[in-house]
Structure 1
Amino acid sequence: MKLCILSITAEGRQLAERIAAELPNCDVLVAQKKIADTMRDVWYEYQGIICIMATGIVVRSIAPLLQDKTSDPCIVVVDQRGHFAISMLSGHLGGGNVLADKVATITGGQSVITTASDVIGATALDLWARRNGLIVTDRMRLTEKSAKLVDGAILTVFSELPLLGLPLDLKPCDNPEDADIVISCNKNMTSSGLCCIPENLYLGVGCNRGTSVTDIEQSFIELCDKHQLDTRAIAGIATIDVKNDETGILDFAKKRNVDPTFFTRDELNGVGDVSYSAAVMKAVGAKGVAEPASLLAAGANGHEAQLIIRKMKWKDVTLAVAKRIKNRWA
């Protein structure tokens, strides 16, 4: 997280230097005469802004800049003696609560956290989803379900993945139509609950040399349509290392905002229960690319992996999908 500290007094500047010395990637800035001008200058450049000044000044300065809690930087307000560090904005998704705790530890003061879930000890659904690689599809429903937790309710969760180690205020449910929270890669899932997409699918890609990103993208869309997969569930793509300069694959990965992983033919050949291709063996020395690559990517770091879509072939593209099995929830 890129941070900056704004101060308006000499004593505040001294405190700013002290805090910055303990926080990585943190700039110390002297606010202009008009605080609102300085705030506007730093708003889009930093993910966290620590303000050593009165809360009223900060409120008036940030009011015209506020957009959405998923994009606004977190704001922590500190008095110039460092007695209190107040998480004012983007406490959960923006990391404001954590930053306030860090600042209070540095100054020897007290962090002030007002988000209801933290105060009463309820699960913060937005943070829980982020920790577990879930994409929240409906912010209004997130707010609605979060309010129920704050009121002391226990929410039901339907999931395509095993539900071990859920928080105490979440419990498993067998029917998605009755669940408060639905975790599924199925883009056609119908539920009145909060739908969350797990980023746990890994796409194995094989292609002829010079295949365009358009052809790969179109094949991918057709695969997802046929198997009713939400495209956002793809956490990574994988292929053989001789394709590490294949423009179509690299551009596809960039478009999907995922990092490509490349495996050697020996690694691919070490994967069992995958389709054999004489043509691929002749071309690159591997018994297959799409299926074993997807399994290796999904199974990285000791995870359990399952091939859920065996290879589908187009004129120049071959795709397969493996699922990473999540055994416990953070």
Structure 2
Amino acid sequence: MKWAVISVTQKGVKKALEVSEKINCDVYTLPKYSVCGTIPMESGFKKGVEDIFYRYKTILFIMASGIVVRSIAPYIKTKDVDPGVLVMDEEGNFVTSLLSGHLGGANAACEKIAEAVGAVPVISTASDVSGSTAVDTIAIAIKGKMDSLEKAKHVTSLIVGGERVSLKLPENVVLGEDNTAGVIVLSNRKELKISQIIPQNIVVGIGCRRGTSKESIIEAVENAMDEANLHMDSIRIFATVDLKGDEVGLLEAVRHYGKELTVISREEILPIEDNFEGSDFVKKSIGVKSVSAPCALLASKSKGKFITEKMRHDGITVSIYEEEIRRDG
């Protein structure tokens, strides 16, 4: 994904264009400093920052950090949604990770840009300084979602403080075996800080009749997830057959969860359709025997297993496929 690089001086624009030669980015500046390769902030710096702030995953400001802090302050929400914000001086001597170092990726971006332009990276998050690992860093590594930022902060503070913190992994992280449904903690501590990371490794396959409502699909999905004792935040994507790729209710249901819909062609399903429970009526109607289960399998990106191969609910079929969790790198 592209970065945004913002500068409001002639010298800063020159440095921003140097950055653009190394990093895929859009360079923004004030109209009076705009040259070929830059985008003028026609409404001014303050309004320009507002317009840009949540359109990019990473934003690099080439200017004084005080200006940056004041300009972004009104738009900061929480670190699980804020972009990674960096600041670099006009000479390109130092680049600082300012906001959302872990979840927003500012720390990693800081290292990347520093290497690209020969700057010194400045990273001040406690876990990085102490050489320890934060809860949100683990979440990023497995593409998981934390159940609570507050809990994660408490547990990370224990790690940084040198306390012993156990990392309990379900067996399927390595072996792909049954996931754990509970944890027994043996401790003489009066209070334990616990933070849950929810892996986003569930693919939900959907089959439905034409004209099925958004509400019906949401109800079917949530019933199936509840029955399987799975967190809704663990859903990575939804999948369906090509004939249903424009189904309004399905598209609205997928948007309701903020996820993407992967469309699987019938040609892809045909070679594996006999591996699943199927229907001759469905075969006659659309050309394949089954929809939800093969779509879930084909939309997955790693080995795994079906938690629910097919659950029926008012003419809707839901299949739940759990992918193995693999740590990046």
- Which TM-score band applies after superposition, normalised by the shorter structure? 0.7 to 0.9
Matched residue SS, 1:251: helix
Q: Which residue of 2 aligns with 1:94?
A: 104
Quote the Cα distance in structure 1 between the aligned partners of 2:186 and 2:120: 39
CA contact (8 A) 2:273 2:289 kept: no
Deviation at residue 234 of structure 1 after TM alignment: 1.8
With 309-318 and 131-140 compared, the bigger mean Cα shift is at 309-318
CA contact (8 A) 1:203 1:322 kept: yes
Pairing 1:1-330 to 2, within 5 Å after superposition? 1-8=2-9, 10-30=10-30, 38-39=45-46, 41-46=48-53, 47=56, 48-164=58-174, 176-178=183-185, 193-256=194-257, 257-264=259-266, 267-271=269-273, 273-298=275-300, 300=301, 303-326=302-325, 330=329
Deviations 1:216-259 (A, max 9, x none): 12222222233332222222222222223322223322323222
Deviation at residue 80 of structure 1 after TM alignment: 2.4
Distance of aligned partners of 1:109 and 1:198 in 2 relative to their CA distance in 1, 3 Å threshold: closer
Deviation at residue 138 of structure 1 after TM alignment: 0.5
Distance of aligned partners of 1:130 and 1:11 in 2 relative to their CA distance in 1, 3 Å threshold: same
Quote the Cα distance in structure 2 between the aligned partners of 1:12 and 1:39: 17
Distance of aligned partners of 1:74 and 1:207 in 2 relative to their CA distance in 1, 3 Å threshold: closer
Matched residue SS, 2:238: strand
Distance of aligned partners of 1:104 and 1:157 in 2 relative to their CA distance in 1, 3 Å threshold: closer
CA contact (8 A) 2:5 2:28 kept: yes
Distance of aligned partners of 1:225 and 1:152 in 2 relative to their CA distance in 1, 3 Å threshold: same
Question: Any unmatched runs of 5+ in structure 2?
Answer: 33-43
Question: Any unmatched runs of 5+ in structure 1?
Answer: 166-172, 181-190
Distance of aligned partners of 1:78 and 1:2 in 2 relative to their CA distance in 1, 3 Å threshold: closer
Quote the Cα distance in structure 1 between the aligned partners of 2:243 and 2:75: 48
Distance of aligned partners of 1:314 and 1:122 in 2 relative to their CA distance in 1, 3 Å threshold: same
Deviations 1:84-127 (A, max 9, x none): 11222222222222332333334322111111222232223213
Alpha-carbon RMSD across the aligned residues, in angstroms, is: 3.1
Quote the Cα distance in structure 1 between the aligned partners of 2:181 and 2:161: 24
Deviations 1:254-300 (A, max 9, x none): 323222231315625515642232322332332322222222223x4
Paired residues, number: 305
Deviation at residue 3 of structure 1 after TM alignment: 0.6
Distance of aligned partners of 1:266 and 1:59 in 2 relative to their CA distance in 1, 3 Å threshold: closer
Distance of aligned partners of 1:287 and 1:140 in 2 relative to their CA distance in 1, 3 Å threshold: same
CA contact (8 A) 2:173 2:324 kept: no
With structure 2 as the length reference, what TM-score do the two structures score? 0.80
CA contact (8 A) 1:91 1:97 kept: yes
CA contact (8 A) 1:238 1:263 kept: no
Distance of aligned partners of 1:278 and 1:154 in 2 relative to their CA distance in 1, 3 Å threshold: farther
CA contact (8 A) 2:5 2:62 kept: no
Quote the Cα distance in structure 2 between the aligned partners of 1:109 and 1:214: 52
Distance of aligned partners of 1:197 and 1:39 in 2 relative to their CA distance in 1, 3 Å threshold: same
Distance of aligned partners of 1:50 and 1:272 in 2 relative to their CA distance in 1, 3 Å threshold: same
Distance of aligned partners of 1:7 and 1:192 in 2 relative to their CA distance in 1, 3 Å threshold: same
CA contact (8 A) 1:304 1:326 kept: no
Matched residue SS, 2:322: strand
Quote the Cα distance in structure 2 between the aligned partners of 1:203 and 1:6: 44
With structure 1 as the length reference, what TM-score do the two structures score? 0.79
% of aligned pairs identical?
A: 29
Distance of aligned partners of 1:43 and 1:75 in 2 relative to their CA distance in 1, 3 Å threshold: farther
